[in-house]
């Protein structure tokens, strides 16, 4: 596991965008696993800039998003579908047919989950998975639990997650209580994983993820077992890590 310490959100995002760009230069038809939330926003902005100004090509890129709220349609501004098109896909030269996001309005939840897993498998699996982390240590919407859920599944969101994500909605009551999420096995099968974390609210979850026991109570802790994870972390989120690494504060430090 590599840990890259960056001084702020912008530097974290730039570093992440460069890794994604490097992946696409090496393999233009890469399968990317994509995350939503506030964390990757500036990374998407930088990738859009690279697409426009540096010829970064998405024409062969295939994407699978981690999750979607149940009950929100594509036109709902709080759906992850809307987020992805608004913040990324509408601004790059990606093919619509190469974009995959779980449906927020599935007719049959089990079938939708199975279909999503089948599509990922048919695409050859994920080459590079981008992850944010929830304040409770979730990845995608894999919430703390007594077991790891392997494949795409329906989740009942934790109260903590609902509260944390309420900032995007007019009222906390509007936050959906269920979501579909890619499972831990699929995430762990990604060839490379990029975990981004910024802000003091993530410090404790990140510390438990990297240095705590591997437990479904901190879903992201399973990443300790993956052979190619890069964690890009900004100062505030790194607060507890730095203490653990005897204050190795240099940018680009690898642990
Ligand atoms: N399901 C998403 C995750 O994919 C995201 O990584 C995480 C952190 O969100 P944020 O980046 O807004 O802090 O929580 C959300 O609920």
Q: Where are the domains of the chain?
A: 2-244
Element (H, E) at 65: strand 62-65
Nearest to 140 by CA among 39, 46, 4: 39
Catalytic, 67? Answer yes
Query: What SS3 class is residue 233?
Result: strand
Q: If you measure from the C-alpha of residue 141 to the centroid of ligand 1, how many angstroms do you get, rounded to a whole number?
A: 8
List the 62-65 sheet strands across, edge first: 2-6, 229-234, 192-197, 128-131, 31-34, 62-65, 99-100
> Is the CB of 35 within 6 Å of ligand 1?
yes
Nearest to 154 by CA among 132, 183, 187, 134: 183
Q: Whose alpha carbon is nearest atom 14 of ligand 1?
A: 134
> Is the CB of 219 within 6 Å of ligand 1?
no
Question: What is the torsion angle, in degrees rounded to the nearest 10, for the CA atoms of residue 151, residue 153, residue 156 and residue 162?
Answer: 80
Question: What is the torsion angle, in degrees rounded to the nearest 10, for the CA atoms of residue 172, residue 108, residue 217 and residue 245?
Answer: -80
- Integer Cα distance of 23 and 122 in angstroms: 20
Report residues of the chain scoring pLDDT below 50. Answer: 247-255
DSSP tag of 174: G
Q: If you measure from the C-alpha of residue 205 to the centroid of ligand 1, how many angstroms do you get, rounded to a whole number?
A: 12
Task: Give this prediction's pTM.
Answer: 0.94
- And the tokens for 164? 């944390």
Whether the ipTM is more than 0.90: the answer is yes
Q: Give the model's pLDDT for residue 192.
A: 98
Q: Give the model's pLDDT for residue 246.
A: 54
Query: What is the rounded end-to-end Cα distance, in angstroms, of the chain?
Result: 7
> Is the CB of 39 within 6 Å of ligand 1?
yes
223-252, pLDDT tens digit by residue? 999 999 999 999 999 999 977 765 444 444
Which of these CATH numbers, 3.90.420.10, 3.60.150.10, 3.40.50.1360, 3.90.79.10, describes 2-244?
Answer: 3.40.50.1360
> Is the CB of 143 within 6 Å of ligand 1?
no
- Integer Cα distance of 213 and 77 in angstroms: 37
- Identified catalytic residue from 51, 65, 98, 136: 136
Q: Give the model's pLDDT for residue 248.
A: 45
- And the tokens for 59? 């024409």
> Is the CB of 37 within 6 Å of ligand 1?
yes
Q: If you measure from the C-alpha of residue 35 to the centroid of ligand 1, how many angstroms do you get, rounded to a whole number?
A: 7
166-201, pLDDT tens digit by residue? 999 999 999 999 999 999 999 999 999 999 999 999
Catalytic, 54? Answer no
């Amino acid at each position: 596991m590599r840990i890259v310490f960056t001084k702020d959100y912008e530097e974290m995002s730039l570093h992440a965008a460069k890794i994604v760009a490097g992946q696409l230069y090496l393999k233009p038809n890469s399968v990317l696993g994509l995350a939503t939330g506030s964390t990757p926003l500036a990374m998407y902005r930088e990738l859009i800039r690279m697409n426009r100004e540096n010829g970064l090509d998405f024409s062969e890129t295939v994407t699978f998003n981690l999750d979607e709220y149940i009950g929100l349609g594509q036109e709902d501004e709080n759906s992850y579908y809307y987020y992805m098109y608004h913040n990324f896909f509408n601004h790059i030269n990606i093919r619509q047919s190469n974009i995959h996001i779980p449906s927020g309005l599935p007719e049959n939840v089990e079938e939708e989950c199975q279909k999503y897993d089948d599509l990922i498998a048919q695409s050859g699996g994920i080459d590079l998975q981008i992850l944010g982390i929830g304040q409770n240590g979730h990845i995608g919407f894999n919430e703390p639990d007594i077991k790891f859920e392997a494949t795409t599944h329906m989740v009942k969101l934790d109260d903590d997650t609902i509260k944390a994500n309420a900032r995007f909605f007019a009222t906390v009551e509007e936050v959906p209580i269920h979501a579909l999420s890619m499972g831990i096995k699929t995430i762990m099968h990604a060839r490379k994983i990029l975990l981004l974390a910024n802000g003091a609210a993530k410090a404790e979850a990140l510390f438990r993820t990297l240095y705590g026991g591997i437990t479904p109570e901190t879903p992201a802790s399973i990443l300790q077992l993956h052979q190619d994870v890069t964690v890009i972390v900004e100062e505030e989120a790194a607060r507890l890590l730095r203490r653990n690494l005897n204050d190795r504060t240099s940018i680009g430090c690898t642990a």
